[in-house]
Amino acid sequence: MKITPDELSDVLSDALEEYGESVREGVADAVVKTGKRALKMVKDKSPKKSGRYRKSWRMTDSKQAASRSKTAVTIHNTSGYQLTHLLENGHQKADGGRVAGTPHIRPAELEAQKLFPELVQQAIKEAGER
């Protein structure tokens, strides 16, 4: 394929735009994959008395139409959201004494913080190979 000097800027612009779009899609996929992994970890490590609290963890992802490059996920508990900090950190009992916390949110967050950069680097590498 021969490119004339007049076409060079158009060809480079198209190539960079394609690369940027590929990276954007890869990062969006990395956000969702990281969210799914964190959700699974939170569910697995949540305290299970009746199972209702553990089963009610959900992940919502939002892709903002105004800015194609913004994808976010939120992990939340639909039924026991009032309990999350009490179960995570422990709490004082009404008749005295303390209930020990069961860390289940923080470990998932730390795991997600490690996983996300790895997935982004992989997406960038794959976009460069195309």
**Where do the structural domains in the chain lie, given as residue ranges?**
5-129
What tokens does 10 get?
């158009």
pLDDT for position 105: 96
What tokens does 74 get?
């939120």
8 Å CB contact between 109 and 88: no
Nearest to 118 by CA among 37, 32, 30: 30
What tokens does 14 get?
């198209």
pLDDT for position 6: 83
pLDDT for position 89: 95
pLDDT for position 121: 96
8 Å CB contact between 42 and 55: no
Query: Which residues make Cβ contacts (< 8 Å) with residue 67, sequence separation at least 6?
Result: none
3-state secondary structure at position 99? strand
pLDDT for position 65: 53
Report the distance separating Cα 93 and Cα 83, nearest Å. Answer: 14
The pLDDT averaged over each successive group of 10 residues in the chain (130 residues) is 83 90 91 96 93 94 66 91 92 94 96 97 88
